[in-house]
Amino acid sequence: MNEVINVVKRGLFVGRFQPVHNGHLKALEFVFSQVDEVIIGIGSAQASHTLKNPFTTSERMEMLIRALDEANLNDKRYYLIPLPDINFNAIWATYVVSMVPRFDVVFTGNSLVAQLFREKGYEVIVQPMFRKDILSATEIRRRMVSGEPWEDLVPKSVAEFINEIKGVERIRMLATNLEKNEKELQAPIRIPEF
């Protein structure tokens, strides 16, 4: 019995999902095809209500659940794990490992994530991103702010959820609110750099 459990192969995939979009789905489809169970880490889990991180972790989980249901990726078991930032890259991979179920391989399109896990000896599979020019959360948030169409870049159920929670209004409010002075540099300690 135990042996059967032990041979379950798990893959880890980390993203911010601000919001979930079709590029995430493409990537997740590949991950689901390679392993028995998928751990989805939700990065910057403490962040929300900013232009770069408009949605809460709770909302991002809801998007993932609906998108995976819509894509029929729910026949395999997956785990949704919030990962609040620790702002300490040298120990980040060890921190993630302590907070998620045991896994066998990391899937990522991000070279820093790849490097941080490789430095700790994990197998990493780098995925080329599909149509990264438009299938990026940044592009989607930009369209939301400027009033351009964005719905086709995300799963239908995610678009519906974002409309339910008035997500576009929230992002526009955040964009309006951001005054010039907020863009000034914050340089908290500023020790000498010769």
User: Closest separation between CB of residue 154 and its own copies, Å?
Assistant: 12
Q: Please report, as residue ranges, which positions from 114 to 153 form the binding site for its own copies (by CB under 8 A).
A: 115-116, 129, 132, 135-138, 141
Q: Are 46 and 72 in contact (CB under 8 A)?
A: no
Q: What is the DSSP string of 44-70?
A: STT--SSSSS-S-HHHHHHHHHHHHHH
Q: 53 or 144, CB closer to its own copies?
A: 53
Query: Cβ of residue 185: shortest distance to its own copies, in angstroms?
Result: 5
In the complex with its own copies, the residue whose CB is nearer, 9 or 91, is 91
Binding status of residue 111 toward its own copies by CB under 8 A:
yes
CA neighbours closer than 13 Å in the CB half-sphere of residue 168: 17
The residue from 99, 123, 146, 148 that contacts its own copies (CB under 8 A) is 99
C-alpha 42/C-alpha 81 separation (Å) is 6
Would you count residue 71 as binding its own copies (CB under 8 A)?
no
Strand extents, DSSP E, 58-146: 77-83, 105-108, 124-126
Q: Does 84 bind its own copies (CB under 8 A)?
A: yes
Residue 105 touching its own copies (CB under 8 A): no
73 binds its own copies (CB under 8 A): no
- CA 14, CA 38: separation in Å to the nearest integer? 10
CB 32 within 8 A of CB 79: no
Under rule CB under 8 A, residue 19 binds its own copies: no
Please list every residue from 33 through 62 that binds its own copies, using CB under 8 A: 41, 43-53, 56-58, 61-62
